[in-house]
Amino acid sequence: YVGAAGYVFVHDKLWIAVAGPLWSGGLAFLVTTLYAFRTEQDVREFVHSALGRYVSPEVARLVARDVSLMKPERRQMTVYLCDIEGFTRLSQALPPEQLVPLLNTFLTEMTAVVRATVGQVDKYIGDSVMAFWGAPVRTDRHAHLACEAALKLQAALAQKQPLWEKQFGHRLSVKAGIDTGDLLVGDMGSELKSHYTVMGEAVSLAGRLEAANKEYGTQVLVGQATAQLASDAYVFREVDRVLLKDRPQPVRVHELLGRRGEFSPEKQAGMALYEKALIAYYGRDFLVAQELFRRCTVEHGDTVARVYVQRCQRLIQTPPPADWDGVIRWGRRATDSR
């Protein structure tokens, strides 16, 4: 515009005012820039506010600076599902004015543990909590972090038990399932409501593992992929080999026992005895396996071994076919074998 005004003045001796348009253009640019900045700030503040209740402030700030972290994609992650054992019975025993504060206290503890391990709380479903690690911030240690969260929650609940028992007259026991796999993660939902969540087979298996704790008397069951990834820092033991309706190959189920280096000699002896019994079991030496599993139950209070004592008895009475591989079909009782 300035160049054109100068050309007209030189050739036609006509003066065209340039100050007004320049000020107008500059002001328009300034307003547009400020509006864009404000809009971006609003988006960042919205993202930070939406995530802040579920992840640590550090993670929320990181995502607020880079909203592209929220876009849907597939990546390897670890998912965790847990619920309160016997919650239905508890909900019938306590009046609402006691039940709700107790549930809120539990969910607060759970959320704090997830946030402390850089995880994301996906959703609350009654007394159940779903969380995941590996998004929106990438980490190769998602399996480790999920296992650490499971152990930290058990420790936090144990510390709170005396207070809850005194205040509400009840103790809380939590069962959890953990699995690792390729999951679809991102902001999903309708135009009216969306949610940053995950989808995939690992979510389904984690839910089945959580429910299976009741059969084995365990607290935290994990899938094979999780156990393999985190075995350098945590101790697992094989609990079962199961065939799922939607998976062509059997899945090995493991129990999370604790962190490496934190086991007493007595606990280590119990683990070794169980391993010896399991080898005998899959070697079809059911009499020896049953006796070893019985020792595990008597000497170490092993609830999983109790399942195998019953299973061995059935196999002794009715020997399996030659192609028996010890795999069971979930949907039956844990004491049954295929």
Cross-strand partners of 330: 332
pLDDT of 191 above 80: no
Query: Which is more confidently placed, 142 or 332?
Result: 142
pLDDT of residue 143: 98
- What's residue 101's pLDDT? 86
pTM (predicted TM-score): 0.82
- Between 130 and 59, the more confident residue is 130
* Residue 70 or 100, more confident: 100
The pLDDT of residue 80 is above 60: yes
Which pLDDT score, from 0 to 100, does residue 246 have?
A: 77
Number of H helices, E strands in the chain: 11, 9
Using CA atoms, how far residue 22 sits from 32, 214, 316, in Å, is 15, 75, 95
At 42, the pLDDT band (50, 70, 90 cuts) reads low
- Residue 237 sits at the vertex; the CA angle it makes with 78 and 231, to the nearest 5 degrees, is 50
- Candidates 286, 175, 181; CA nearest to 228 is 181
Asked if pLDDT for residue 228 goes beyond 80, the answer is yes
- Chain mean pLDDT for the chain: 84
Instruction: Report how far residue 194's alpha carbon sits from residue 85's, in angstroms, rounded to the nearest whole number.
Output: 30
Would you tell me the crossing angle of helices 303-317 and 265-282 to the nearest 10 degrees?
A: 20
Residue of 49 and 68 predicted with greater confidence: 68
Q: Other C-beta atoms within 10 Å of 223: how many?
A: 25
Cα Rg for the chain, rounded, in angstroms? 29
Residue that wins the pLDDT comparison between 276 and 12 = 276
Query: Lowest-pLDDT range, 98-102, 169-173, 227-231, 246-250?
Result: 169-173
- Report the top-level CATH class of 74-256: alpha beta
Q: In Å, what is the CA distance from 176 to each residue of 233, 249, 251, 311? A: 19, 23, 17, 24
Q: How far apart are CA 47 and CA 70, in angstroms?
A: 10
Q: What is the pLDDT of residues 233-282, one digit of tens each?
A: 999 999 999 998 878 889 999 999 999 999 999 999 999 999 999 999 99
pLDDT at residue 148 greater than cutoff 60: yes
Q: What is the pLDDT of residue 5?
A: 46
199's tokens = 């989808």
194 backbone φψ class: left, alpha, beta (φ>0; ψ -120 to 50) = beta
Lowest model confidence (mean pLDDT) among 77-86, 116-125, 234-243, 329-338: 329-338
Q: What is the token pair recorded at 327?
A: 């795999």
Can you give 168-225 as a three-state secondary structure string?
Answer: HCCCCCEEEEEEEEEEEEEEEECCCCEEEEEECHHHHHHHHHHHHHHHHCCCEEECHH
pLDDT of residue 285: 97
**266, 234 in Cβ contact below 8 A?**
no
Which among 220, 297, 204, 293 is positioned nearest to 253, based on CA atoms? 220
Average pLDDT of span 14-27: 50
